[in-house]
Amino acid sequence: MTPARTGSPDSLRLALGSTRLRVGLAFVLVLLMVLGVRLFQLQALDLNGMAQAGLSKRLTSTAVQPVRGSIVDMNGKYFARSVERYDIVVDQRLSAVDDFRRYNEELEDWEIIPMDQGLAELAAVLGTDEETLRAAVLGEKTFNYVQKSVTPDVKNRALAVKVPGVYADETSVRTYPAGPVAGSIIGYVGTDGNARSGLEVSLDDQLTGEAGSRTFEIGGDGIRIPYATNEDVPAVDGQSVKLTIDQDLQWFAQQTIASQVKDYNAEWGNIVVVEAKTGAIRAMAESTTLDPNDPEATPADKRSPNSVSASFEPGSTTKVITLAAALEQKLIEPTSKFVLDNRYTVDDQTFKDSSEHGTEHRTAAGILAKSMNTGTVQIGEKLTKQERYDWLKKFGIGEPLGTGLGEENQGLLTTPDKWDERQQYTVLFGQGLTQTALHTAMVYQTIANDGVRLKPRLIDAYIDPDGTEHKVPQDEGTEVVSDETAVEMRKMLETVTEEGSGKSGELEQYRVGSKTGTAEAPSASGGYDGYTLSYAGIAPIEDPEYVVVITLQRPKGDLYYLIPGESFQKVMKQVLNSNNVPASTSKPDIYPVEY
């Protein structure tokens, strides 16, 4: 047998095939290595940011709005609250499809829905026409509103249509269940979500809270991808605010003053009710008030709470300051005697009483009871100019009120070096200075509270979203006059009710101390063009619980027949009865008015 020769055709072909196989395998390995490296670059290193770009394209971020805190009365009744609503929004990039898949519960299978059909269904759910809806859903925007502020039910039905890119942002809408009750105090939030007036503005930081955010991935079909990127930063809801206002009393006071303003054809009027021993404002009622649900229905110049924003010359209600100062400095006693004619002249300035009378012999208590300017000037001139100013300041005249409302007017009290020869005396009976109705109420609160002046309290507490209540600290108060002087003043005020100008405010079951006021109302063009009438009262005078102040601006008619005490009667009776204040069991204790 002849052996095969080396280099034969068969062996050459075998060697060549083996080489090609090795080269091919090597080429494939190199190619796989290159692809692996490239895949590692793309997926792990992402040198060109392609993965991140893809993720960014899928990610959708939405703001999570906090729920605005409520405003409630002293008993928790709502003045303002936010209710759950949703904005239907769309990422238009995801809606650029001809059809989409939707699971049919009845068929237990997926079905293809043409986009035109989906838009028609969505338009029916939202109660809008298809053309308007199509313009909102289709386009190139990453975010667009489809419909704002829909109820949870509408939201659920809208999302059930499954139009790609359409989803819902949780939001809320502000409602005012009490309507115009305390509306000027509460204020309102505009349709744009911005606070516009009242406590809604001044307490906006506390009520608003902090927004959160929600970030998630959406697939090409517009459906959220489960278990993908999901980052939630929860919103922090705003605090709620509890007021000292009694909603029922506020309503009653508003009805009462609106009726009297209408009867007297007055420009405006208000009623302020303050708790004597705490300074808590239980009612602050205006004759015309804002309805926060329909703010445009009230003229812009009538939306503010005049009780704190309107400053006017108070007139004779200020005489209590002059009498209290003279008593405190031991310059007079309640029974000090004065001889009074209808006119009194000092420093070439002549003052007269509101009605003509001959020579009268009056006590200091009688001067207050009959509201005599001549006698008030005689008592007040015993004080120096600086003392007159200092006493007005001690009682809070010209001082900020500090209720938390941003529309406060602190009034006007110029320093004594700027007083002319007449003003130095007119301030003794409430002319030549201005104050608000709440200022007047706090003067009488001081007398009712044994001479201790408190800051008026409108805000009782702040309440966290979890219900934790933070009480606003009680003001310790400032002693203005001694309790002895306060007791004497209350007895003098009861004398006014029993023997003087305050008779119209008498109550059958309660002893009342009061003072009336009549002041000329200055005209915008100079001079005077009407009057400001007021009635300030305390009850029960033997153990004071409440102060009620009535103010009427420019009422029409004969002043002799205009009686703001009627409104005082109604409101003081209401507040005493509704708070179960025991009726007075003792008889009136008054000073003699003549000698």
For residue range 298-326, list pLDDT tens digits in order. Answer: 999 999 999 999 999 999 999 999 999 99
pLDDT for 37 = 67
Which residue shows structure tokens 């029922």? 248
Which residue shows structure tokens 């899928």? 58
How many alpha carbons fall within 13 Å on the CB side of residue 35?
Answer: 6
pTM: 0.84
Mean pLDDT of 367-381: 98
pLDDT for 14 = 58
> How far is residue 573's CA from residue 583's CA, in Å, rounded to a whole number?
10
Mean pLDDT of 153-173: 93
Work out the end-to-end distance of the chain between its first and last CA atoms, rounded to an integer number of angstroms. 170
Mean pLDDT of 330-347: 98
pLDDT for 534 = 97
> How far is residue 375's CA from residue 526's CA, in Å, rounded to a whole number?
29
For the segment 57-67, what is each residue's pLDDT rounded down to a tens digit?
Answer: 667 777 778 89
Peptide bond into 540 cis (omega under 30): yes
pLDDT for 218 = 67
CA angle (270 as vertex; 390, 525 as ends), nearest 5: 75
> How far is residue 53's CA from residue 42's CA, in Å, rounded to a whole number?
11
Q: Does the pLDDT at position 55 exceed 70?
A: no
Mean pLDDT of 153-170: 94
pLDDT for 46 = 54
For the segment 441-452, what is each residue's pLDDT rounded down to a tens digit?
Answer: 999 999 999 999
Short-list 331, 325, 322, 338, CA closest to 427: 322
Say which residues have a Cβ less than 8 Å from residue 450's Cβ, sequence separation at least 6.
483, 486, 487
| φ/ψ bin of 149: left (φ > 0), alpha (ψ from -120 to 50), beta (otherwise) | left
> How far is residue 551's CA from residue 51's CA, in Å, rounded to a whole number?
73
Mean pLDDT of 556-582: 93
Name the DSSP letter for residue 107: T
Q: Does the pLDDT at position 398 exceed 90?
A: yes
Name the DSSP letter for residue 354: S
> How far is residue 181's CA from residue 285's CA, in Å, rounded to a whole number?
8
Beta strands in 240-333 (DSSP E): 240-243, 268-275, 281-286
Q: Does the pLDDT at position 167 exceed 70?
A: yes
For the segment 24-49, what is each residue's pLDDT rounded down to a tens digit?
Answer: 677 777 777 767 666 666 555 555 55
Q: Does the pLDDT at position 220 exceed 80?
A: no
Short-list 95, 96, 226, CA closest to 162: 95
> How far is residue 106's CA from residue 240's CA, in Å, rounded to a whole number?
46
Per the prediction, the chain carries an average pLDDT of 91
Which residue shows structure tokens 């003067």? 443
Phi, psi at residue 433, to the nearest 5°? -150, 160
Short-list 557, 550, 513, 555, CA closest to 535: 550
For the segment 99-111, what is each residue's pLDDT rounded down to a tens digit?
Answer: 999 999 999 999 9
Count, residues in the chain: 595
> How far is residue 338's CA from residue 595's CA, in Å, rounded to a whole number?
9
> How far is residue 128's CA from residue 133's CA, in Å, rounded to a whole number?
7
